[in-house]
């Protein structure tokens, strides 16, 4: 019988904790030299459960590495105009190196107007058009956080993307689109971008040396859709009801792990794969913003 456990499980938790340790060491060095410590501000509008959990995780990560942080909470009745004023205030606050506006925002508020108001050098989520466009520049400023986490995970597991065929499923502005550009630019890969209009998705995914999926459809990719030896990066995290869990849900990736993993050389689990890397990317971006903060 074939050995079905030949794949390497890519351990995002382990890599994330190694990077946090590296960042904490750097903060300790800044402290020893009486330098200003990195300061991350987080804007949270409303009390959506998912967003509050994410923000709690970001605050905890700041504490772990020794960053200063500010959490600014507003009721979901706040007007767009007032929110934009707060963004402006943080833009002008010299002590704050980086900040994020946690999404989603209430539907009346334009995400585009709010995210574009953030100064690109403080945009540690990498959401602004300027940071998105700078991926293809000779000197990129700040990489979008989730794609940055994926690239770092590949790098630390010595997955060489140079000349490989990467197939990205999902072309969202926050994940799939910038990730595709980073794989082509920094990773020197040949990249196919698939999205909801793609015909015969499996004919593309089967060609992938590295398959990266970010669509939010649990179990979309099944074993018959990948070739032997593929590296699979599952960026999906959908909450599905799970009465066996105290919190009432579990997280499901876009990849049907049980049928796909036996064909892989490497694969990320959900949870514990890409997820832990996104917060760490935010910390790496904040450290970079702080080191470049000459104000
Ligand atoms: N909501 C879900 N993920 C994210 C993220 O990475 N950044 C922000 N700002 N909001 C989010």
Q: Are residues 76 and 169 in the same domain?
A: no
Edge to edge, the sheet with strand 39-45 lists 68-74, 39-45, 98-101
Residue of 103, 123, 238, 278 to mutate, ligand 1, most atoms within 8 A of C-beta: 103
Cα 170 off chain centre by: 14
Q: Are residues 109 and 159 in the same domain?
A: no
CATH number reported for the structural domain that contains residue 52 in this entry = 3.40.50.10860
Asked if 103 and 278 count as a contact pair (C-beta separation under 8 A), the reply is no
Q: Are residues 149 and 269 in the same domain?
A: yes
- Specify the higher pLDDT residue, 80 or 294: 80
pLDDT at 1 > cutoff 60: no
User: Helix 12-32 vs helix 145-156: angle between axes, to the nearest 10 degrees?
Assistant: 100
Q: Are residues 98 and 166 in the same domain?
A: no
Start-to-end CA span in the chain (Å): 64
Residue 282 included in any domain: no
Q: Are residues 100 and 156 in the same domain?
A: no
Give the ranges where 94-200 is alpha helix by DSSP (H): 111-117, 129-133, 145-156, 176-185
Q: Are residues 191 and 268 in the same domain?
A: yes
- Domain carrying residue 152: 144-274
Residues with a catalytic annotation lie at 58, 102, 125
Q: Are residues 87 and 203 in the same domain?
A: no
Question: What is the model's pLDDT at position 3?
Answer: 47
pLDDT at 2 > cutoff 70: no
Q: How far apart are CA 41 and CA 95, in angstroms?
A: 10
List the one residue out of 189, 191, 192, 213 whose CA is nearest residue 264.
213
Residue of 42, 102, 146 to mutate, ligand 1, most atoms within 8 A of C-beta: 102
Band (293; pLDDT cuts 50, 70, 90): confident
- Token readout for 250 is 């579990």
For residue 206, report the distance from its CA to the centre of ligand 1, in Å. Answer: 30
> In the chain, how many domains are there?
2
Question: What is the model's pLDDT at position 4?
Answer: 53
For the segment 250-273, what is each residue's pLDDT rounded down to a tens digit? 999 999 999 999 999 999 999 999
Q: Tell me how far apart the 2 most distant CA atoms of the chain are, in Å.
A: 65
For residue 7, report the distance from its CA to the centre of ligand 1, in Å. Answer: 31
Question: What is the model's pLDDT at position 5?
Answer: 66
Ligand 1 atom nearest residue 100's Cα: 9
Q: How far apart are CA 155 and CA 5, in angstroms?
A: 23
Kindly report the protein residue whose alpha carbon is nearest to atom 11 of ligand 1. Answer: 103
Residue 131 included in any domain: no
Q: Are residues 195 and 85 in the same domain?
A: no
For the segment 204-249, what is each residue's pLDDT rounded down to a tens digit? 999 999 999 999 999 999 999 999 999 999 999 999 999 999 989 9
Asked if 254 and 217 count as a contact pair (C-beta separation under 8 A), the reply is yes
Q: Are strands 238-241 and 249-252 parallel, antiparallel or unpaired?
A: antiparallel
Q: Are residues 72 and 165 in the same domain?
A: no
Q: What is the mean pLDDT of residues 61-67?
A: 98
Asked if 264 and 229 count as a contact pair (C-beta separation under 8 A), the reply is yes
Residue 18 included in any domain: no
Residue of 40, 51, 54 to mutate, ligand 1, most atoms within 8 A of C-beta: 54
For residue 55, report the distance from its CA to the centre of ligand 1, in Å. Answer: 9
Q: What is the mean pLDDT of residues 138-164?
A: 96
Q: Are residues 115 and 149 in the same domain?
A: no
Percentage of the chain exceeding pLDDT 70 = 98
pLDDT at 102 > cutoff 50: yes
Q: Are residues 115 and 150 in the same domain?
A: no
Residue 15 included in any domain: no
For residue 238, report the distance from its CA to the centre of ligand 1, in Å. Answer: 14
Q: Are residues 83 and 43 in the same domain?
A: yes
Pocket residues: Cβ below 6 A from ligand 1: 54, 100-103, 125, 145, 278
């Amino acid at each position: 019988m074939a050995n079905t456990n030949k794949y390497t499980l890519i351990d995002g938790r382990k890599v994330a904790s190694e990077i946090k340790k590296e960042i904490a060491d750097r903060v300790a060095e800044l402290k020893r030299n009486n330098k200003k410590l990195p300061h991350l501000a987080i804007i949270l509008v409303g009390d959506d459960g998912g967003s509050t959990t994410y923000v709690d995780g970001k605050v905890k990560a700041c504490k772990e590495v020794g960053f200063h942080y500010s959490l600014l909470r507003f009721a979901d009745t706040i007007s767009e105009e007032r929110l934009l004023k707060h963004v402006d205030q943080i833009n002008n606050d010299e002590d704050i190196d980086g900040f994020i506006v946690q999404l989603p925002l209430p539907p009346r508020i334009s995400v585009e107007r709010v995210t574009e108001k953030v100064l690109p050098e403080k945009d540690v989520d990498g959401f602004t058009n300027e940071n998105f466009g700078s991926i293809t520049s000779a000197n990129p400023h700040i990489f979008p956080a989730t794609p940055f986490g994926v690239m770092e995970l590949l790098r630390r597991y010595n997955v060489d993307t140079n000349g490989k065929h990467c197939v990205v499923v999902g072309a969202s502005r926050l994940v799939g689109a910038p990730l595709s550009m980073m794989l082509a630019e920094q990773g020197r890969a040949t990249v196919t971008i698939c999205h909801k209009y793609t015909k015969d998705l499996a004919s593309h995914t089967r060609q992938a040396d590295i398959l990266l999926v970010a669509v939010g459809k649990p179990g979309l990719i099944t074993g018959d859709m990948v070739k032997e030896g593929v590296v699979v990066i599952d960026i999906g995290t959908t909450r599905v009801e799970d009465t066996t869990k105290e919190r009432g849900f579990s997280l499901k990736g876009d990849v049907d792990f049980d049928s796909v993993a036996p064909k892989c050389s490497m694969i990320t689990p959900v949870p514990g794969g890409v997820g832990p890397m996104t917060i760490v990317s935010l910390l790496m971006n904040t450290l970079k913003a702080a080191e470049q903060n000459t104000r």
